[in-house]
């Protein structure tokens, strides 16, 4: 089952993050190889943060994605 993941690439002057979908069963192997990869639980637009609605956004996003919002 594919999940949303994020990889961080460290450049000379900046760090760059890229989101992608893949099977998280490879996470342990990738991390052991030195890659900085994390599983993304929620995505939050900046305007939601500005209006201080982050918790409500994540709650409804979890329900919409059939996750347990009370964990």
Sign of CA dihedral 51, 54, 63, 70: negative
pLDDT value of residue 31: 95
The mean per-residue pLDDT over the stretch 22-30 comes to 93
The mean per-residue pLDDT over the stretch 14-18 comes to 96
59 pLDDT higher than 90: yes
pLDDT value of residue 36: 96
71 pLDDT higher than 80: no
What is the pLDDT of the chain when averaged over all its residues?
A: 94
């Amino acid at each position: 089952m594919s999940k949303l993941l994020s990889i961080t690439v460290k450049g000379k002057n900046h760090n760059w993050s890229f989101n992608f979908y893949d099977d998280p069963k490879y996470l342990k192997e990738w991390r052991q190889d030195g890659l900085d990869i994390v599983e993304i639980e929620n995505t939050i637009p900046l305007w939601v943060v500005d209006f201080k609605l982050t918790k409500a956004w994540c709650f409804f996003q979890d329900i919409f994605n059939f996750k347990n919002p009370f964990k």
